[in-house]
Amino acid sequence: MLKTWELTTLPEGKKALQNKYVYRVKTEHDGSKWFKAGLVVKGFQQKKGIDYFEIFSLVVKLTTIKVVLGIVAAENLHLEQYVKTTFLHGDLEEDIYMQQPEGFAIQGKENQVCKLKKSLYGLKQAPRQWYKKFDNFMCSSGYTRCQADHCCYVKHFDNSYIILLLYVDDMLIAGSSIEEIDKLKQQLSKQFEMKDLGAAKQILGMRIIRDKDKGILKLSQAEYVKKVLSRFSMDNAKPVSTPLGIISSSAKTSHQKLS
Amino acid sequence: MIPYAAAIGSLMYAMVCTRLDIAHAVGVVSRYMNNPGKQHWKAVKWIMRYLEGSSETYFSFIAGGLKLEGFVDADLAGDVDSRKSTTGYIYIYIYIYIYIYTLGGTAVSRSSTLQKIVALSTTEAEYVVVSESVKEIVWLQSFLKELGKMNG
The model's pTM is 0.80
Polymer length of chain A: 259
Q: Give tens-digit pLDDT for A9-52.
A: 877 777 888 888 888 887 776 777 878 777 887 877 887 777 77
Q: Give tens-digit pLDDT for A211-254.
A: 888 888 889 998 889 989 999 888 888 888 888 876 555 555 45
Question: Chain B within 8 Å of A256 (Cβ-Cβ)?
Answer: yes
Judge whether A253 and B34 are in contact, CB under 8 Å: no
- The answer to whether the CB atoms of A240 and B107 lie below 8 A apart is no
Spatial CA neighbour of B7 closest among A197, A232, A105, A237 = A232
Extended beta strands in B18-144, E state? 59-62, 65-74, 86-96, 102-114
| Sheet bearing A206-211, strands edge to edge | A202-203, A206-211, A216-220, B59-62
- The answer to whether the CB atoms of A216 and B61 lie below 8 A apart is yes
Domain spans of chain B, in order of start: 4-53, 65-146
Quote the ipTM score.
0.84
- The answer to whether the CB atoms of B14 and A224 lie below 8 A apart is yes
